[in-house]
């Protein structure tokens, strides 16, 4: 089919080739070539020509972007979350918004537990210690960390990823507490997790892992008050959204020993500034938002986004629709 009559999809970052190939089967693909995200004026230009937009969680898709997309019919977010998109504005403009749920559950849970283990055992500091030539002898007091086996893990948000983290924690013989918007008796029976309030969880846990979506009620859910409730040896893990935590309060708590450490894959602003004081701290393990960064998972995410786009362009309800009011029935 001639490109001039094919629908046009603007993809804001390169992704695994199978997903690009799938898009090319039914559309002309306008792929952003640079490593950094397109700036606002560049995004507006490319969206103005697009029938579909495949964007990343770091791309702010607001009313201005949608207004530029005169032909825009679908915004496919390459993520589970979609707080970067003004969904209400999209709905008003009859633009479908889709996401990529389920496929990154296990991968993100792996990352959360990786951060937990690395922070607990001072792995990053140990790596530097060894590479920098400080390992001149074995010593009983060098790089002491804390046990994970038998410790208490508090999970904030027992959704799919939270439950996947709980399954991993069971293998370490951990006591598992959880708090969530809704109590989950089925998960309690299956995973042996114990329900409690956020305050109780913070007071009792050796490790706290955050798995709640970012919403108005979860913005800065963990702030100075909550950090004060935690044990001075406790470690906070965040693979959810950066603004679930008050980053300034966390930095202060890590600086003054209010808590023992943190493992972070997400931040209030991404990318985090190299000058951020958080990065000066030795009791923090940081990663550049790579919770879903495996070849297998990122490929599945791309394929799912492509199928969502294809469905909308063909006049069908996409499999992973966020603004469900656009379609009066599942068959639409």
Q: Which residues belong to the active site? A: 241, 270, 289
The dihedral over CA atoms of 106, 163, 289, 251, expressed in degrees to the nearest 10, equals: -150
Smallest Cα–Cα separation from 44: which of 58, 63, 23, 29? 63
Q: Which residues pair with 77 in a beta bridge?
A: 55
- E strands within 38-95? 52-55, 74-77
From CA 53, how far away is CA 71, in angstroms rounded?
11
Helix (H) or strand (E) holding 131: helix 123-131
| Residue position matching structure tokens 């029935």 | 329
DSSP assignment letter at 125: H
User: CB–CB of 153/236 below 8 Å?
Assistant: no
Contacts of 291 (CB under 8 A, 6+ apart): 104, 107, 108, 111, 112, 239, 265, 266
From CA 170, how far away is CA 274, in angstroms rounded?
37
User: CB–CB of 202/155 below 8 Å?
Assistant: no
């Amino acid at each position: 089919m001639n490109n001039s009559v094919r629908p046009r999809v603007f993809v804001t970052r390169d992704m695994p080739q199978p997903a690009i190939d799938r898009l090319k089967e039914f559309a002309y693909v306008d792929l952003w070539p640079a490593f950094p995200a397109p700036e606002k004026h560049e995004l507006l230009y490319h969206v103005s020509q697009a029938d579909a937009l495949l964007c990343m969680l770091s791309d702010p898709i607001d009313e201005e972007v949608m207004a530029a997309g005169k032909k825009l019919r679908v915004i496919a977010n390459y993520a589970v979350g979609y707080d970067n998109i003004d969904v209400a504005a999209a709905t008003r403009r009859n633009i479908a918004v889709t996401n990529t749920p389920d496929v990154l559950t296990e991968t993100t849970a792996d990352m959360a537990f990786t951060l937990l283990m690395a922070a607990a055992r001072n792995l990053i500091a140990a790596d530097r210690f060894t590479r920098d030539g400080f390992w001149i002898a074995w010593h009983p007091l060098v790089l002491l960390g804390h046990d994970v086996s038998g410790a208490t893990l508090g999970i904030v948000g027992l959704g799919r990823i939270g439950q996947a983290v709980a399954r991993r924690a069971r293998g370490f013989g951990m006591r598992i507490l959880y708090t969530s918007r809704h109590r989950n008796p089925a998960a309690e029976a299956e995973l042996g997790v114990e329900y409690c309030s956020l305050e109780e969880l913070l007071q009792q846990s050796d490790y706290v892992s955050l798995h709640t979506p970012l919403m108005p009620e979860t913005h800065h859910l963990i702030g100075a008050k909550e950090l004060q409730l935690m044990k001075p040896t406790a470690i906070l893990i965040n693979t959810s959204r950066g603004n679930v935590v008050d980053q300034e309060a966390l930095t202060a708590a890590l600086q003054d020993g209010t808590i023992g450490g943190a493992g972070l894959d997400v931040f209030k602003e991404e990318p985090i500034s190299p000058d951020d004081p958080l990065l000066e701290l030795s009791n923090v393990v940081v990663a550049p938002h790579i919770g879903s960064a495996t070849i297998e998972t990122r490929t599945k995410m791309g394929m799912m986004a492509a199928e969502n786009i294809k469905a909308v362009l063909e006049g069908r309800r996409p499999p992973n629709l966020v603004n469900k009011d656009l379609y009066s029935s599942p068959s639409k």
